[in-house]
Amino acid sequence: MKVFKFGGASVKDAAGVINLANIVKKFSGEHLLVVVSAMGKTTNALEKLARAYFDQGDDMHDIFEEIKQYHYQIMHELFAEGHPVFNEVNNTFVEIDWMLEDEPQDHFDFIYDQIVSIGELVSTRIVDACLNQEDIKSRWIDVRSYIHTDNTYRAGQVNMEKSCADIQQDIPALLEKHVVVTQGFLGGTSENFTTTLGREGSDYTAAIFAACLKAESATIWKDVPGVLNADPKLFSDTVKFDELSYNEAIEMTYYGATVIHPKTIKPLQNAGIPLLVKPFGDANAPGTVIREMEYQKITKPIVIVKPNQILFSISAKDYSFITENHLSDIFGLFAQNHIAINTMQTSALSFSACIDTYDNRFEVLLSGLQKDFKVRYNTGLQLITIRHYQTGDIQSFTSGKTVLLEQFSRNTAQMVVK
């Protein structure tokens, strides 16, 4: 069997949904599980709604109405009036309508997950209905019954053993008669609350299903021809890799390459399942295959640019050396706030760390650090990572920028710049 994952760009409009159905038709007769993200930029819009609701902004109902109308427009282009999918989608939206009627009582991360999750719930209803309308026997399932997580909202930690047990118990029988359609990015807690797995987490969802079902392969359908050495939106001279090793792909995603979610590779590598990254605009194109390779020579530097970075400089208030005890306290605060460090550096008197800009968590982390340390920080920075760099690459990518921190290893160079 195969697992397909379609991202938001591939289902951003009615034509995209039809294209998805046409791709699925090419694999008729095969056991297929399809993981679908929210449509277009819906997740961004729902994040805006979650923030407006939490802050009780005057525009929250307008934001939600715009989200609903976007999906209704797609449905009107795909289905005749009165099709059951309209009621299914309306029932999903009603849950948020009820939520917006009351003032927020829970912490922001919990509210975020309950609101943002409807993007995938709605998109998969529409995709499932379209597949059935196109004479593809499809079955919608709620992923929250299969991907079990802890209560870490916005970064749910998956209980792989429990998740695999439930997937293996139910899904193979469904695949015998149906294309199974489910949501990416989402999980469920033991109390039946919704969690999300982190932005772009639909890739990870697909990898979990593939590993648990011992799939032949997992395919991520993207708006790029495959895995490129740099973001084509930022660089004009990108090249596509025909194949990549698991290890190289893990390094790329760790440093921030957005083509694949960072947690995607591990379950596939453990199960020996290849990952294909293919363009949804050309289903016959080869794309990129990520698989086990003993050695891979990379001749073109891989460049990863992470925007919206914050650089901390943390030092002891009494000007003492930064010791292992200080570092233990500092790392503990980052862990408590579920904030990953993208790069770090120590000196005698300070510890520097570069992180993403986290909504709501930055202020809590800063407050915790300032209790025992002097803290300086810069916002609005970029983190540039170059894998397999040559000496001349550093100057070309940092020209005209101020370098605030730099770090070099044999294969990787990192620079925090403004």
User: In this structure, is residue 119 part of a structural domain?
Assistant: yes
**pLDDT value of residue 25:** 97
Contact (CB, 8 A) for 309 and 250:
no
In a shared domain, residues 90 and 117: yes
Q: Which of 18-32, 167-181, 350-364 has the lowest mean pLDDT?
A: 350-364
User: In this structure, is residue 129 part of a structural domain?
Assistant: yes
User: In this structure, is residue 154 part of a structural domain?
Assistant: yes
Confidence of residue 97 (pLDDT cuts 50, 70, 90): very high
In a shared domain, residues 268 and 328: no
User: In this structure, is residue 313 part of a structural domain?
Assistant: yes
In a shared domain, residues 283 and 308: no
In a shared domain, residues 172 and 274: yes
Q: What CATH number is given to the structural domain containing 401?
A: 3.30.2130.10
User: In this structure, is residue 358 part of a structural domain?
Assistant: yes
Q: Which two tokens stand for residue 61?
A: 């109902």
CA distance linking residue 305 with residue 414, whole number of Å:
10
Total domains present in the chain:
2
Residues 86-103, mean pLDDT to the nearest whole number: 96
pLDDT digits (tens, 9 = 90+) for 359-389: 778 999 999 999 999 999 999 999 999 999 9
pLDDT digits (tens, 9 = 90+) for 270-301: 999 999 999 999 999 999 999 999 878 898 89
Q: What CATH number is given to the structural domain containing 21?
A: 3.40.1160.10
pLDDT digits (tens, 9 = 90+) for 54-72: 999 999 999 999 999 999 9
Mean pLDDT for all residues in the chain: 95
In a shared domain, residues 351 and 400: yes
**pLDDT value of residue 219:** 98
Confidence of residue 395 (pLDDT cuts 50, 70, 90): confident
Residues 391-407, mean pLDDT to the nearest whole number: 90
| List of residues 6+ apart from 245 with CB closer than 8 A | 290, 291, 292, 293, 296
CA distance linking residue 144 with residue 163, whole number of Å:
10
**pLDDT value of residue 299:** 87
Confidence of residue 259 (pLDDT cuts 50, 70, 90): confident
Which of 291, 319, 339 lies at the terminal end of a domain, its last residue? 291
User: In this structure, is residue 296 part of a structural domain?
Assistant: no
In a shared domain, residues 185 and 87: yes
In a shared domain, residues 157 and 56: yes
Q: Which domain holds residue 59?
A: 2-291
Residues 303-313, mean pLDDT to the nearest whole number: 95
- Work out the number of other CB atoms within 10 angstroms of the CB of residue 214: 12
In a shared domain, residues 6 and 71: yes
In a shared domain, residues 387 and 240: no
**pLDDT value of residue 319:** 87
User: In this structure, is residue 338 part of a structural domain?
Assistant: yes
In a shared domain, residues 34 and 64: yes
Going by C-alpha positions, the residue among 218, 224, 188, 190 that lies closest to residue 203 is: 218
Place of tokens 């810069």: 378
User: In this structure, is residue 297 part of a structural domain?
Assistant: no
**pLDDT value of residue 415:** 96
**pLDDT value of residue 81:** 94
